[in-house]
Copies of this chain bind each other. A is one copy, B any other.
Amino acid sequence: MNVNGKAYKTIWINKDDEKLVQIIDQRPLPFEFVIEDIRTVDEMARAIREMHLRGAGLIGVAAAMGMYLAALNADPDNFDADIKRFAEQLNATRPTAANLKWGIDRQLSAISAGNSITEKIAIAKNTAENTAEEDEVSARKIGEYGVKLIEEIASEKDGPVNILTHCNAGWLAFADFGSATAPIYTAFEKGIDVHVWVDETRPRNQGARLTAWELKQHGVPHTIIADNTGGHLMQHNMVDIIFVGADRVSYTGDVANKIGTYLKALAAKDNGVPFYVTFPSSTFDWEIEDGVADIPIEQRDAAEVTCIRGRDVEDGSLRVVNITPEGSPAANYAFDVTPRKLITGLISERGICAADKYEVLKLYPEKK
């Protein structure tokens, strides 16, 4: 998507130096736009763990790109053991994201088919680029399925279709285009009148920092709200539909997504607001049956709750400020799990289905 009028992806292999992977460093957004160079698995592991990049789809692509760097950097005399070690290193960076393991496993399988180191590296590069391209294709398909829901609402009301989203499942969370934002961008391109309520998404403020920035760059009308606000808006018919992303979806339809998603789903159910979860198929976990009990939930540094980065309103400098009393502890659970009973539908590149294992398996018959 466009940044200051120029088209970008979130991650790419440099055209002139094919051993260099480049990413948009999302940490300084929305204040500064920074491109980061990544040449080693260590650097990619840190970028994933410390959230220079984040988001379900993008973590999968970054894992595949990281495995390409693994192939480039592995000792030719100890190649297979090095690849295995690098895979484990990348796999340990984020515990909840299903796409991470999916991207690594895809590369391990692809690389193992090469007959020489040179061929293995070429395969790894090809697989990394395909993973990025497929991620974007999935996002566009999600947009095509999701936009029909928006069109239906638009045909039945005056004024804009009010869409609520939580966290950033935008193009910054994928190679491009996004999942939750895909129906929104598609509707906007079709000239449908849309307005997006952007949940701030504490503690890392991915909504206020990233989703609002994306929508503003693209010209989509939006309003930032505190995470506490969605219930009130839904009680007063100010939300027509909700789209969120997912970090892991059990094949039975339970959805791990950014902490707070569950609370919005409860309010949606209580007020009859349709609640859709959007994600590429790589986000499915085909093993876990009970998502609430069994999807591991990452705990992150308390400093993400107690400190926040912003631009000084007086001198314009970027500063990190502490916003809590000295000595008060904080906890930081990064995700929660929304049980299937609260979800209207799941939208992947395969189509829309109910959050129910029988309906899911109809769309994925090869998984039966």
Contacts and interface: CB of A to CB of B under 8 A. Distances in A.
Interface stretch (A52-60, A110-118, A308-316): A308-316
Interface in A37-62: none
Given A230-B263, A235-B336, A209 B324 contact: yes
A194 interface: no
A259 interface: yes
A223 interface: yes
Given A232-B262, A267-B263, A312-B319, A324 B202 contact: no
B328 A259 contact: no
A216 B314 contact: no
Contact of A228 (B227, B235, B324): B227
A327 B222 CA distance: 10
Contacts of A335: 232
B235 A337 contact: yes
A281 to B, nearest CB: 26
B323 A308 contact: yes
B305 A311 contact: no
A260 B226 contact: yes
A154 B334 CA distance: 29
Contacts of A145: none
A212 interface: yes
A208 interface: yes
Interface string A293-332: 0000100000001111111111000011111111111111
A331 B223 contact: yes
Given A209-B325, A226-B260, 8 more contacts: A208-B324, A225-B332, A226-B305, A228-B260, A232-B262, A266-B267, A308-B310, A311-B323
Interface of A is mostly: mixed
Contacts of A324: 30, 208-209, 212, 224
B209 A226 contact: no
Interface in A146-171: none
Given A30-B325, A308-B308, A324-B30, A260 B229 contact: yes
B223 A202 contact: no
Given A232-B259, A308-B323, A319-B321, A226 B203 contact: yes
A320 B325 contact: no
| Range of interface residues on A (Cβ < 8 Å) | 35 or more
Nearest to A316: B322
A278 interface: no
B329 A322 contact: no
Contacts of A260: 226-229, 231
Contacts of A264: 263
Given A232-B297, A232-B336, A266-B263, A225 B305 contact: yes
A225 B321 contact: no
A111 to B, nearest CB: 37
A240 interface: no
Nearest to A342: B270
A322 B328 contact: no
A200 B306 CA distance: 10
Interface string A263-307: 110110010000000000000000000001000010000000111
A224 B319 contact: no
A130 to B, nearest CB: 33
Contacts of A198: 328
B231 A263 contact: yes
A333 interface: yes
A10 interface: no
